[in-house]
C-alpha cells in the first residue's frame, strides 16, 4: 500500500488531532511504528518537526513518541511536535516539555442556532452577505478534481495569497484544499455565478468531528461572506450528527509566554494574530483549547521554536525573509516612507561641498526625495500599478545614481568609520527601497 494511503487508513482509525488529515498533503515524511501508528513530520535538515501528535491509539502514544525521538537522534536530528494538545502531555509526563503557542476554538455544531439567536451582530453579517447576493453551496468531490469550481478556488487562493504581507508558508498552513477530495468536504460562496470564497472541511475521525482547514474569500467579497460559509458548515455538521468542530489554531492567542506576546505585537504589521483570534472569538466557541509545542527536556524551547519556524518557512528563515521582502509588503513600504522624511531633512542639513560636491546636486537630491516620499505616502492610501511603476523606476534610478556618487565622490573622501557608515546607509536605503517597490508593483499587477 502506498505511504499516503496507509496514513489515510491510520487517520480514519486514530485521527484525533485536528492536524491529522493535513499530514496527507505534499511535503511530509512518515515514521511508521508497527502497523498501527505513525508520525508525520518534515525534515528541516537540523530537526524532525512533527505535525501534531502521533497518529495512534491512546495507549500507544508513549511508545510511538519515544521511538520517533530515537529515530531522530539516530539520524543526527533534533525533534519536536508542533500543535499538540493536553492528551499527549498527560501521556508522556516528564518525557516531554511543552510551550503554549496558542489556542484552538471548538464548537458543538448543535449549539450554532442558539448562538445566532443570542448574537445579533452575527445575524447581521449573514443578512448583509445574503442581501449582496452571496449564496453558499456544497460541492462534490468531482468538482474538486477538475472543472470551473477547482479553477475558481485556485483563483481565490492566488488572490488571497497576493494580499498577504509575508511569503506563502508551508507545513500546517499550506493551502491545499484538493488532497484526497473523496474524503473531504467543501462549501463555496458564489455571487452572480462567480466563486468568491470557500470553506475546505476535513475530518477528525476519532472525535467524530470536523476541521475547517481553509476559510478564504476574495479581497473584494461582500462583508459577511466568511460568516455565511461558517454558517453553512455548522448546519451541515449538525445535520450529520457531529458534536465537535474547530477552525484550528489561533497562533499566539491566549495566555502565552511574555516573549510570544511580544512577538505577537511586534509582528502585527506583517500578520494580524489578534485579528484572527478576534474573528474566531466572535463566532462564540464553546471552549478554547490550549495548543503546545512539545520537545525533549534537554532540547529547550528556543531551539524547538526555531526548528518549527524553519519548517513553516520553506527553505529557511533568511530565504523566507527575502521572499517576503520581494513581495513589497505594505508595512515595509510604510516604514521606508516614514524613514525617508528624517533622511531628507538630514540631507538638507548636510554640508554640500563635503557630501555632494556642489549645492545644486544636494538640493536636487532633496527635491527628488521629497517627490518620492510624497509618492510613497500616496501609494499607501491609493495603491495602483501605475504609481507603483513610477516609484519603482524612480527609486531604481536613485539607487544607480547613489552608487555612482558613492564610488566616484564619497568613498575617496571618507575620513572615518562614521563616514563609511553614512555612505553605506545612503547607498543601501535606495537599493532596499527599489527591491521593495518592485515587489509592491508586482503585487498590484496580480490584484484583480
* Number of other CB atoms surrounding residue 313 within 10 Å: 22
User: What's the chain's Rg over C-alpha atoms?
Assistant: 26
Q: What is the mean pLDDT of residues 431-436?
A: 74
pTM: 0.76
- At residue 374, the pLDDT reads 84
Q: Angle at the Cα of 269 (from 264 to 270), degrees rounded to 5?
A: 85
- Higher-confidence position of 251 and 434: 251
Per-residue pLDDT averaged across 137-154, rounded? 93
Element (H, E) at 194: strand 194-204
CB atoms under 10 Å from CB of 42, counted, come to 24
Whether 139 shows a pLDDT value over 60: the answer reads yes
Which residues is 47 bridged to in the sheet? 78
**Taking 90 as the threshold, does the pLDDT of residue 56 lie above it?**
yes
**What pLDDT shows up at residue 313?**
81
User: With 70 as the cut, is the pLDDT of residue 239 above it?
Assistant: yes
Q: Which is higher by pLDDT, 347 or 255?
A: 255
pLDDT over 70 at 368, yes or no: yes
- Distance between CA atoms of residues 201 and 232, nearest Å: 11
Section 256-272 average pLDDT: 76
Q: In this predicted structure, what is the pLDDT of residue 161?
A: 78
CA–CA separation, 1 and 325 (whole Å): 43
Q: Residue 26, by phi and psi: left (phi above 0), alpha (psi -120 to 50) or beta? A: beta
What is the residue-averaged pLDDT of the chain? 87
| Cβ 137 vs Cβ 197: under 8 Å | no
Find the helix packing angle between 359-381 and 330-349, rounded to 10°.
160
- Percentage of the chain exceeding pLDDT 90: 55
The residues, any chain, with a CB within 8 Å of residue 3's CB and separated by 6 or more, are 30
Long-range (24+ apart) CB contacts under 8 A made by 409-412 are 409/356, 409/357, 410/355
∠ Cα 239 196 443 (to 5°): 140
How many Cβ atoms are within 10 Å of 259's Cβ, its own excluded? 12
pLDDT digits (tens, 9 = 90+) for 374-390: 887 887 777 777 777 88
Residue whose C-alpha is closest to residue 86's, from 52, 59, 63? 52
Look at the alpha carbons of 151, 152, 154, 155 in this order and tell me if their dihedral is positive or negative.
positive
Q: At CA 64, angle to CA 59 and CA 68, rounded to 5?
A: 165
Q: What pLDDT does residue 448 have?
A: 47
One DSSP character per residue, 272-297 reads -HHHHHHHHHHT--SEEEEEEEEE-T
Rounded to whole angstroms, the Cα distance separating 345 from 352 reads: 13
Confidence class for position 16, pLDDT limits 50, 70, 90: very high
Q: What is the pLDDT of residues 58-95, one digit of tens each?
A: 999 999 999 999 999 999 999 999 999 999 999 999 99
List the grid coordinates of 434: 527599489
Q: Provide the grid cell at 115.
A: 448562538
Q: DSSP string spanning 3-68?
A: HHHHHHHHHHHH--STTTGGGGSTT-EEEE-TTS-EEEEEE-SSEEEEESS-BS-GGGHHHHHHHH
Q: Residue 295, CB half-sphere, CA atoms under 13 Å: how many?
A: 24
Better pLDDT: 66 or 163: 66
Helix 417-446 vs helix 317-326: crossing angle, to nearest 10: 70
The answer to whether 316 and 309 have CB atoms below 8 angstroms apart is: no
pLDDT for 298 beyond 60: yes
274: phi then psi, degrees, rounded to nearest 5? -65, -40
Residue 268 has pLDDT above 70, yes or no: no
Pair type for strands 287-295 and 29-32: unpaired
Mean pLDDT of 251-279: 82
Cell 455571487 belongs to residue:
191
Asked whether the beta carbons of 249 and 277 are under 8 A apart, the reply is: no
* Closest residue by Cα to residue 228 from 375, 96, 147, 126: 126
Nearest to 194 by CA among 157, 152, 248, 165: 152
Q: How do residues 305-321 score in pLDDT, each as one tens digit?
A: 989 988 888 766 555 55
Sign of the CA dihedral 27, 28, 29, 35?
negative
Contact 4, 179 (CB under 8 A): no
pLDDT of residue 341: 77
pLDDT range class, residue 169, cuts 50, 70, 90? low
Amino acid at each position: 500500500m502506498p505511504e499516503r494511503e496507509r496514513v489515510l487508513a491510520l487517520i480514519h482509525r486514530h485521527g484525533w488531532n485536528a492536524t491529522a488529515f493535513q499530514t496527507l498533503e505534499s511535503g511530509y515524511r512518515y515514521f511508521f511504528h508497527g502497523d498501527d501508528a505513525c508520525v508525520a513530520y518534515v525534515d528541516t535538515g537540523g530537526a524532525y518537526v512533527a505535525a501534531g501528535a502521533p497518529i495512534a491509539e491512546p495507549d500507544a502514544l508513549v511508545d510511538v513518541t519515544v521511538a520517533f525521538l530515537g529515530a531522530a537522534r539516530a539520524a543526527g536530528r533534533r525533534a519536536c511536535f508542533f500543535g499538540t494538545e493536553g492528551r499527549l502531555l498527560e501521556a508522556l509526563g516528564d518525557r516531554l516539555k511543552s510551550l503554549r503557542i496558542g489556542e484552538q476554538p471548538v464548537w458543538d455544531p448543535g449549539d450554532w442556532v442558539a448562538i445566532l439567536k443570542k448574537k445579533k451582530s452575527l445575524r447581521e453579517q449573514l443578512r448583509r452577505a445574503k442581501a449582496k447576493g452571496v449564496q453558499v453551496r456544497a460541492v462534490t468531490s468531482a468538482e474538486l478534481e477538475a472543472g470551473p469550481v477547482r479553477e475558481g478556488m485556485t483563483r481565490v487562493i492566488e488572490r488571497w495569497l497576493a494580499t498577504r504581507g509575508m511569503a506563502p508558508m508551508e507545513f500546517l498552513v499550506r493551502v491545499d484544499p484538493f488532497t484526497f477530495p473523496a474524503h473531504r468536504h467543501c462549501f463555496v460562496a458564489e455571487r452572480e455565478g462567480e466563486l468568491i470564497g470557500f470553506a475546505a472541511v476535513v475530518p477528525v475521525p476519532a472525535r467524530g468531528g470536523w476541521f475547517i482547514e481553509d476559510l478564504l474569500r476574495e479581497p473584494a467579497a461582500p462583508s459577511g461572506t466568511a460568516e455565511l460559509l461558517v454558517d453553512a458548515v455548522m448546519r451541515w455538521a449538525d445535520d450529520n450528527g457531529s458534536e465537535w468542530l474547530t477552525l484550528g489554531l489561533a497562533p499566539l492567542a491566549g495566555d502565552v509566554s511574555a516573549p510570544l506576546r511580544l512577538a505577537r505585537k511586534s509582528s502585527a504589521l506583517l500578520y494580524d494574530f489578534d485579528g484572527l483570534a478576534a474573528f474566531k472569538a466572535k463566532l462564540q466557541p464553546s471552549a478554547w483549547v490550549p495548543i503546545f509545542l512539545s520537545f525533549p527536556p534537554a532540547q529547550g524551547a528556543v531551539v524547538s521554536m526555531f526548528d518549527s519556524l524553519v519548517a513553516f518557512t520553506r527553505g529557511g528563515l533568511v530565504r523566507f525573509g527575502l521572499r517576503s521582502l520581494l513581495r513589497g509588503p505594505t508595512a515595509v513600504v510604510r516604514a521606508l516612507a516614514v524613514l525617508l522624511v528624517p533622511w531628507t531633512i538630514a540631507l538638507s542639513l548636510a554640508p554640500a561641498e563635503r557630501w555632494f560636491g556642489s549645492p545644486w546636486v544636494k538640493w536636487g537630491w532633496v527635491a527628488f526625495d521629497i517627490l518620492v516620499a510624497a509618492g510613497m505616502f500616496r501609494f499607501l492610501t491609493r495603491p495602483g500599478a501605475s504609481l507603483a511603476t513610477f516609484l519603482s523606476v524612480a527609486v531604481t534610478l536613485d539607487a544607480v545614481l547613489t552608487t555612482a556618487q558613492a564610488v566616484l565622490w564619497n568613498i575617496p573622501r571618507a575620513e572615518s568609520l562614521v563616514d563609511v557608515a553614512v555612505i553605506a546607509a545612503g547607498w543601501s536605503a535606495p537599493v532596499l527601497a527599489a527591491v521593495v517597490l518592485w515587489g509592491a508593483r508586482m503585487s498590484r499587477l496580480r490584484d484583480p
